[in-house]
Amino acid sequence: MSSHIYDMSSQETRLLAGIISTLSVGGSQDVRTEVFPDILMLLRADVLASFEWDPRAGSYGNPFTINQDPDNIERYRNWYQFRDPMTEKLRGLRRAAHVEEVISKPDLRKTEFYNDFLARDGMHHGVNLFMLSSTRELADLRIWRHRNRPDFGEREIDLLTIIGPFMRKALSLAPEVSLDMLTERERDVALLIARGCFDKDIARVLGIGFATVRTHLGNCMTKLGCANRTELAALVSKLSH
């Protein structure tokens, strides 16, 4: 183990053990929700963002963020990811890396991406981890500190290097959920549920029987791995944006 790792409090040591334990179980619907808040604390960071690469759309989607303005995330998805001078280079490394490995801070600060996107949420010092399984792109990990904080060092790279294989395995085992798993009619029902419609309203809008709506609802929850209507609505809302 690198000497940098010994720069940890007892709480951080417990955090690291808990992260690895959770990731070792694997198969969660969204590993990010379970462990990324703890990783943010472990790396003594301020902002975290994670996206999934969609090869069909040629863009990043399904964001998971901590301490980032939702409006800024939408700006990234709709505009700034296509004017990003660093992410594709970091993605190509397939390992934990400082942002400065691919672009210097002075050069980054000259860009629209920094001034109109990163700086809005105080993202100044960055480390990234992009992961790939044997069959698909996995959710990435983008971690930032504010400008008035010290830069990330080798401690954070070493920690991400330790966590990386466990995260890669857990994300690989997690089911790949999308609305494409549903039939056209099931998707119609699911989208209306995400909009807050009641079953009787869905039946009227789609011109189908109440019992048929209930059947489609059950199929949607089974296919997407949701335990109840509320969970289904939240997941469909996330997948459809």
Q: What is the 3-state secondary structure (H, E, C) of 120-162?
A: HHCCCEEEEECCECCCCECCCEEEEECCCCCCCCHHHHHHHHH
pLDDT given for residue 4 in this prediction: 64
pLDDT tens digits for range 188-239:
999 999 999 999 999 999 999 999 999 999 999 888 878 789 889 988 988 8
Determine the Cα–Cα distance for residues 181 and 68; give it in Å rounded to an integer. Answer: 30
**Nearest-10 Cα torsion for 129, 149, 35, 119:** -70
Residue 180 confidence (pLDDT): 81
**What's the CATH number of domain 3-173, 3.90.1820.10, 3.40.1190.20, 3.30.420.40, 3.30.450.80?**
3.30.450.80
Q: Report the Cα 113 to chain-centroid distance in Å.
A: 20
CATH architecture, range 179-239: Orthogonal Bundle (1.10)
**What average pLDDT does the segment 172-181 reach?**
76
**Separation of alpha carbons 190 and 196, rounded Å:** 10
Residue 193 pLDDT: 96
Q: Percent of the chain scored above 70 by pLDDT?
A: 93
Q: What value does the mean pLDDT take over residues 127-152? A: 92
**Which uninterrupted H or E stretch holds 126?**
strand 125-129
**Cβ atoms < 10 Å from Cβ of 30:** 18
Q: What is the pLDDT of residue 28?
A: 54
Domain ranges of the chain: 3-173, 179-239
Q: Which residue reads 């989607």 in tokens?
A: 61
Per-residue pLDDT, averaged over 24-48, amounts to 87
Task: Check whether 7 has a pLDDT greater than 70.
Answer: yes
